[in-house]
Amino acid sequence: MQIVFVETEPSEVEYFREELREHDVRFVGALDEVGAEVEVLSVFIYSRIDAAFLEAHPALQFIATRSSGIDHIDLAACEARGVDVSFVRSYGENTVAEHTFALMLSLSRRIRASLEANQKRKFSYEAIRGFDLEKKTLGVIGTGRIGMHTIRIAKAFDMCVLAYDIVEKPLVAAVRGFEYAPLDDVLAAADILTLHIPLVPATHHLLDRAAFAKCKRGVLVINTSRGALIETEALVEALDSGIVGAAGLDVLEEERVMQREALNLIGDQIISKLQSGLTSHELRVQNPARIQELTGLMRNQQLISRENVVFTPHTAFNSVEAVARIGRTTVENIRGFLEGAPRNTVTGGLEW
Ligand code: NAD
């Protein structure tokens, strides 16, 4: 059986090669290097699997994504082609929740400004004063695995928690000491909002201009889920107007492009790329997708360079323990498929 891994790091290569040594295991840097004869494919979040990829790889039978998010895979196309998909259902809900608090504390205690203050000549406590989390209201959007761990940690900080989810768990809420409320009520009450829902059509741009207009002035926004849950332009406007006081972001819209380009373009460089001898109209006509990508890059760069934004490049999952769990589960998922007993499958869609 030919098994191809995409987007792996050196330590993962060693691990998967050893664990699956009885198979023809290969490693490639990007999806476009995967040969047509691949039978089992393991990807991470930046490999977008669509109908065209499936068509170009007729021998493909099984995809094991090394992630809990599955929005990079066209599940309907996989189902139509009879390709099973498995994911890592649970590997780091505590890990991502801990990172959520790393971002939250970075904002509430103004860590970025404090670090930068060190380098400035004039130091002022007033200029970098933070605030306590204790007794503040945390609005948790999504009370699944990560959301629940976030609530557990929030209660240890003695925060008040108000949550929104399409599936409420009243018994857990009673035990954990939080309440559910409609989305608008959570937006209106929260001092800090944190997102823990999947990116699906219903949640795309959940936080848009209309949603920000319902928020308490100065709310902090934390996103460790997926970038497109927030409309970037609306967030920038809300940061400009002070409706959003600060944002802690582990994910961004168009972050795939940032990752792929492996660069942190500054505005001038992007503009020179945009120009490259052509007028912007000619570029727009010739390569609209590229223009959209570069515009997204520039917008993200402007967003993450703000003093009141803390950005981590999709690292919420990235602890030693979580990465080890991802590796183990991926091997189990592949073995399960090869033995005729697939596990952690998502084909047909997850239920929420
Ligand atoms: P989960 O499936 O356990 O929980 C998701 C929750 O969202 C569920 O309670 C579900 O009912 C709710 N939900 C679904 N659709 C909704 C909607 N339309 N409106 C309101 N609520 C809705 O997922 P999880 O393990 O807690 O992970 C949440 C997300 O975190 C993942 O989908 C993934 O995108 C992201 N994630 C990010 C990283 C990272 O490194 N940044 C790592 C892991 C997961």
Q: How far apart are CA 151 and CA 97, in angstroms?
A: 9
Rounded distance from Cα 145 to ligand 1 centre (Å): 7
22 is catalytic: no
Pocket of ligand 1 (CB under 6 A): 68-69, 93, 96, 142-147, 165-167, 196-200, 202-203, 224-226, 250-251, 314, 316-317, 352
Active-site hit among 110, 255, 256, 299: 255
- When pLDDT is averaged across residues 37-63 and rounded to a whole number, the result is 96
How does pLDDT run across 163-221, given as a tens digit for each residue?
Answer: 999 999 999 999 999 999 999 999 999 999 999 999 999 999 999 999 999 999 999 99
Q: Output the CA 68–ligand 1 centroid distance in Å.
A: 9
pLDDT computed for residue 121 by the predictor: 74
Q: Which atom of ligand 1 is nearest to the CA of 92?
A: 43
CA of 94 to the centre of ligand 1 (A): 13
Q: Which of 75, 64, 102 is nearest to 199 (CA)?
A: 75
Q: What is the CA radius of gyration of the chain?
A: 22
Count of C-beta atoms within a 10 Å radius of residue 218: 12
| Alpha-carbon distances, residue 36 vs 4, 5, 43, 53 (angstroms) | 11, 14, 16, 9
Q: Is 255 a catalytic residue?
A: yes
Question: Structure pTM?
Answer: 0.88
Give the distance, in angstroms, between the CA of residue 160 and the centroid of all CA atoms in the same chain.
25
- Residue 152 CB: number of other CB atoms within 10 A? 15
Answer yes or no: are the C-beta atoms of 135 and 158 closer than 8 Å.
Answer: yes
Please enumerate in sequence order all residues whose Cβ is within 8 A of that of 343, keeping only pairs 6 or more positions apart, or say none. Answer: 86, 332, 333, 336
Question: Tell me, what amino acid is at 102?
Answer: A
Closest by CA position to 294, among listed 323, 319, 277, 269: 269
Query: Above pLDDT 90, what percent of the chain?
Result: 79
d(CA 322, CA 325): 5
Q: Please confirm, yes or no, whether 14 is among the known catalytic residues.
A: no
pLDDT interval class at 273 (50, 70, 90): low
The helix-helix angle for 111-119 and 93-108 (nearest 10°) equals 50
From 101, 166, 197, 249, give the residue whose CB has the most ligand 1 atoms within 8 Å, as the site to mutate. Answer: 197
Residue 286 in this model has a pLDDT that exceeds 80: no
Per residue in 83-128, pLDDT tens?
999 999 888 889 999 999 999 999 999 999 998 887 877 789 999 9
Two structure tokens written together for 72: 């990079």
Q: Please tell me the distance from the alpha carbon of residue 291 to that of residue 20, in angstroms, as a whole number.
A: 42
Taking the CA of residue 352 as reference, the ligand 1 atom at the shortest distance is 11
Question: From the centroid of its chain, how far is CA 208?
Answer: 17
Please report the sign of the dihedral spanned by the C-alpha atoms of residue 99, residue 105, residue 107, residue 111. negative
